[in-house]
Amino acid sequence: MGIRIHIDYDKCSGCGLCEIVCALKHEGTVWPEASRIRVFEFVPGITVPSVCQQCPDYPCVEACPTEALSVDEETGAVLVNDDKCILCGLCVDACPGRIPRLNRVKATALICDLCGGDPECVKVCSITHSALTIVKDEPPAMRKVYVQDPRKVTAELSAKKYVSFLKGG
C-alpha cells in the first residue's frame, strides 16, 4: 500500500528545514526552489507545507504524455524520469492539489519520491515540530482526501485563526 506524508498544519512553524533537507538530499546543495516539499506563506503567519500525497489513481502519471512519471511499487511514490520530462505542465494541471512543480533550471518536474521510503523532511521535522509524520497502510482512497491546493488550506487556516482570535483564543 505504500506510505504518505501527513501534514499537521497547526504544528508547522514555517522554519523551512524540510525544504532545505529535501534539496540537500536530491540536489546536494541548499536550494529550496528544487525541493519536493514547499512551505507557502500566502498570509503572514500562516504557513502551509505542501507535498505529494500519492493519489491512488495517480492523475499526474496518467496525464504525462511522455511517460516521464511512474510509480514506485514499494513506496507508492511518483518517480520522475528527468530525461523524458518535457516541462509541459500536464502533471500540475492533473493534480487536484497542483503540487508538482516545474523547475526550469533542472528542466524537469519535481514531485516527492518519499526518499525511497525514508523521507528526510519527516526526520528533520520530528526534531523540531512534528508537523510531518509518516502514515503507513492507509486505505488508498483516503489519500485523495488529503490532497489540497495550498491556497485553499491557507484560506481555511486563516479563517480558523481569525475566528479563534476574535473569540479571545
What pLDDT, in 10s, does the model give residues 96-131? 999 999 999 999 999 999 999 999 999 999 998 999
Give the pLDDT band of residue 2 (cuts 50, 70, 90).
confident
Q: Which of 96, 113, 29 is nearest to 59 (CA)?
A: 96
Give the pLDDT band of residue 141 (cuts 50, 70, 90).
low
pLDDT for 1: 55
In Å, the largest CA–CA distance within the chain is 54
Kindly give, in sequence order, each residue whose CB lies less than 8 Å from that of residue 117, ignoring residues fewer than 6 positions away.
3, 74, 75, 77
Cβ atoms < 10 Å from Cβ of 41: 14
pLDDT for 119: 97
CA separation for the pair 109, 100 (Å, rounded): 6
Query: How many Å separate Cα 136 from the centre of its chain?
Result: 16
Query: How many Å separate Cα 31 from the centre of its chain?
Result: 16
Query: How many Å separate Cα 73 from the centre of its chain?
Result: 19
What pLDDT, in 10s, does the model give residues 74-104? 999 999 999 999 999 999 999 999 999 999 9
Q: Please check whether the domain covering 3-166 is classified as CATH 3.30.70.20.
A: yes
7 bridge partner residues: 132
- Pairing type for strands 101-103 and 108-110 reads antiparallel
Which amino acid is it at 81? N
